[in-house]
Structure 1
Amino acid sequence: MEEMRNVKRTEGEDGRMCINTEWGGFGDDGSLQSILTEFDLVVDRESLNPGVHTFEKMISGMYLGEVVRLVLVSLTQEGLLFGGQTSPDLLTQGHFETRYMSDIEQEDVGLDQAQVILTGLGLKAGPVDCRVVRLVCDAISTRSAQLCAAALATLAKRIRTNRGLQRLETTVGVDGTVYKKHPNFSQKLQAAVRVLAPKCHIKFLVSEDGSGKGAAMVTAVAQRLARQSRLLEESDGEESEEEEVEEDDEYM
């Protein structure tokens, strides 16, 4: 919720406006160029929408598995994994699914899961290979969580500053399978937010069907405001009629 005085495209300075940041497009202007890796560039180039949704392609569950796959291909081709032997599945876009990361990063059974997944991809993976793959998955999921935290902390700090608060208390609704299903993504995200925005206490609330409920909420608010505006206009109209009657009485 942004203060109206900071919304340049509208008139008036009272109240607040609900802003959709569309932060998936952050970086489309080149501002994230310095932190994009060679793997991010490939993901973007081979995506259905090259050049847009830069931030989303670094953090979203739709792309995380593909980033991991590209890293594993690079390590294999350098002779650092799987004895230097790739497989058709490993070389095929989209064949390392993001859900594999959640399985591989589990605390107790992750390495066993890695063995099963990698074998299923046609790879000859030994214990060391499984550990390296787990490190790669952890690095990519951690980067995603910390990038999300950086964006979220920036917004929270902006809100706190705009309202002149010493400490901001707020709730953030979260949707998405990565946050819900990954064994430690939520902890990484929350820990990074606490470091980056120490004066903001944020409660995270898992939301079901976040987009649908958000649309319903905005529609309900719009209808309420429209109803209030209509009632106000009707009230003003009645007052005007009463004034006209009084004037006629005085004239008579």
Structure 2
Amino acid sequence: MVTAVALRLAAQRQEVNELLAPLRLTLPDLEKVQALMRQEMERGLGKATHANASVRMLPSYVCNTPDGTERGDFLALDLGGTNFRVLLVRVTEEGISMASEIYVIPPPIMQGTGENMMLQMLPLGFTFSFPCQQVGLDKALLLTWTKGFSASDCVGKDVVLLLRQAAERKQHTALKVVALVNDTVGTMMSCGYDDPKCEIGLIVGTGTNACYMEEMKNVGTVEGDQGRMCINMEWGAFGDNGCLDHIFTQFDKLVDESTINPGKQRFEKLVSGMYLGEIVRQILLEMTQRQLLFQGRHCTTLQTKNIFQTKFLSTIELSNGLALRQIRAILQELELDASFEDSVLMREVCQAVSLRAAQLCAAGLAAVVEKMRENRGLDTMSVSVGVDGTLYKLHPCFSQNLQKTLKELAPNCNVTFLLSEDGSGKGAALVAAVATRAGL
């Protein structure tokens, strides 16, 4: 005889499944995202369609990778998210050595004025991880701020010129800004120093982006049709034109509406570390309201924006027995009185959100590798991807889920992933080194 408790649990399970169903993407769902990404890539590369493409496909003017003959000392600066790094990179016959300092960027600098933000910058190779329209290796106009930045008097300006002016104000006249590089391009270059097959860069951290080597003949926004150029995709904005609305859930919409740039960087808001914890929080709120969690008790702390940090997902998704105790500890830290069942359900929510993020990232990457394979007229292709970003590196399942999904979506491409241990700053120095070698 079916007990009342069993019936209640079955009804609860059905409601949980219905709530999480929009987050669970099928292979056809992901193939559709892959096709949409490819479509937006083509629009971004086209001279007539570029201006209205959600994936901007920005030329980086990086056409060469290191060949091993670069020598000298190079200063690099990396501004890309919550941290600011200054590196001294020495390139010798024996290899590369680096010394670096890391500074946390306080909100008054992130959201103050452009003049304030540039006070400490002393680079030769400058990694600047925000969407820019590059018109040369050392000239780039800021298109928009992302990742919580809103410093005034910068959008539309040449950030290299701002940097040079800042150096002059600080009387650092000996420094010559040689190249501005997106962090994704820098990551590809730094891994390319060790592996010539590395022709893709991927960032999955606070934000997300990708770059790859495209045939010049396909780049309608730049003169010339010989060789290849690295294209900074700026894929975080994929879907800003509404093409991903079908996979945006009610929780994604709530998160998007509460950001400083609603309606912008929509793909990034589904994938990157800055937003996953907040998506989980919105789901937990809904579950509590439906009395699926915490016995429906009102949770004041859960009402606080960003209280549920993305790093909690990594802890919660570790699948050993200890993890459930760790989940309880996190919940107690948030002043949430959780049962064993609550902890299990929490893990299910976190897994659904992070798996979707990895799958969507894989769908985007599948569009890239398949385009490269077709560009080169190959039946099968081997390529390496340089990867950086805390979500990819620190989450226990993200990289595995991404790679598994990529194999399903791009079976004709053998893709190797290389971790960029020293980040994108080394890549900026290498771009500067290559430019110096070439006499640019």
TM, length-normalised to structure 2: 0.50
Q: Does 1:129 align with 2:342?
A: yes
> What is the match of residue 173 of structure 1?
386
- 1:182 and 2:386 are equivalent in the alignment: no
Q: What residue is the counterpart of 2:225 in the other structure?
A: 13
User: What letter is aligned with 2:307?
Assistant: H
Aligned to 2:420: 207
What does residue range 237-248 of structure 1 map to in structure 2 within 5 Å? none
**1:116 pairs with 2:329:** yes
1:77 aligned onto 2:289 = yes
Q: What is the CA distance between 1:217 and its match in structure 2?
A: 3.0
Q: Displacement of 1:176 after TM fit?
A: 1.1
Task: Kindly indicate whether the alpha-carbon contact (under 8 Å) linking 1:87 and 1:121 is maintained by their aligned counterparts in 2.
Answer: no
For the 8 Å contact 1:85–1:123, the answer to whether it is kept is no
Matched, 1:25 2:210: no
Q: Give the match for residue 95 of structure 2.
A: none
> Equivalent residue of 2:304, what SS?
coil
Matches of 1:20 and 1:220 in 2, distance apart?
20
Residues 160, 46 of structure 1: alpha-carbon distance in 2 compared, 3 angstrom cutoff: same
Structure 1 position 118, deviation (Å): 1.0
**Equivalence for 2:362:** 149
Residue 337 of structure 2: SS of its match in structure 1?
coil
Offset at residue 11 of structure 1 (A): 2.1
Aligned CA distance change for structure 1 residues 223 and 86 (closer, same or farther; 3 Å):
farther
Deviation at 1:174, TM superposition (A): 1.0
Residue correspondences, number? 227
Aligned residue for 1:35? 247
Matched to 1:93, the amino acid is K
The question of whether the paired residues in 2 share the 8 Å contact of 1:141 and 1:185 is answered with yes
Tell me how far apart the structure 2 counterparts of residues 190 and 216 of structure 1 sit (CA, whole Å).
29
Counterpart of 1:146, as a letter, is Q
Secondary structure of the corresponding residue to residue 50 of structure 1: coil
Report the 3-state secondary structure (helix = DSSP H, G, I; strand = E; otherwise coil) of the residue aligned with 2:225.
Answer: coil
1:237 aligns with none
Match of 1:59 among 253, 257, 271: 271
- Selected match of 2:438 from 213, 225, 229: 225
Secondary structure in structure 2 of the residue aligned to 1:171: strand
RMSD: 1.2
Residue 138 (str. 1) matches residue 351 (str. 2):
yes
Tell me the alpha carbon deviations over residues 152-174 of structure 1, each in whole angstroms, 9 at most, x when there is no partner: 11100000000111111111111
> Runs ≥4 in structure 1, deviation > 4 angstroms?
none
Uncovered stretches (5+) of structure 1, i.e. residues with no partner: 228-252
1:86 and 1:123 in contact (8 A); partners too: no
Between the aligned partners of 2:228 and 2:431, the Cα distance in structure 1 is: 14
Aligned residue identity for 1:73: L
Paired with 2:431 and 2:233, the residues of 1 have a C-alpha distance of 15
Which of the pair has the greater relative contact order for Cα pairs under 8 Å at 6+ separation? 2
1:186 CA drift (Å): 0.8
Structure 1 residues 17-38: Cα deviation after superposition (integer angstroms, max 9, x where no partner): 1100011111111111111011
Q: Greater shift after overlay, 209-218 or 119-128?
A: 209-218
Larger Rg belongs to: 1
Q: Which runs of 5+ in 2 are unaligned?
A: 1-212
- Is 2:209 aligned against 1:3? no
Structure 2 counterpart of 1:93:
305
Q: What SS does structure 2 have at the residue aligned with 1:208?
A: coil
Secondary structure (helix, strand or coil) at the match of 1:8 reads: coil
SS where residue 2 of structure 1 aligns?
strand
> Is the Cα contact below 8 Å between 1:73 and 1:86 reproduced in 2?
no
CA distance in 1, matches of 2:278, 2:260: 13
Q: Which sits farther off after the overlay, 185-194 or 208-217? A: 208-217
Instruction: Compute the displacement of 1:209 (Å).
Output: 4.2
1:86 aligns to what SS in structure 2?
Answer: coil
User: Where is the strand percentage greater, Structure 1 or Structure 2?
Assistant: 2
Please name the residue that 2:411 is paired with: 198
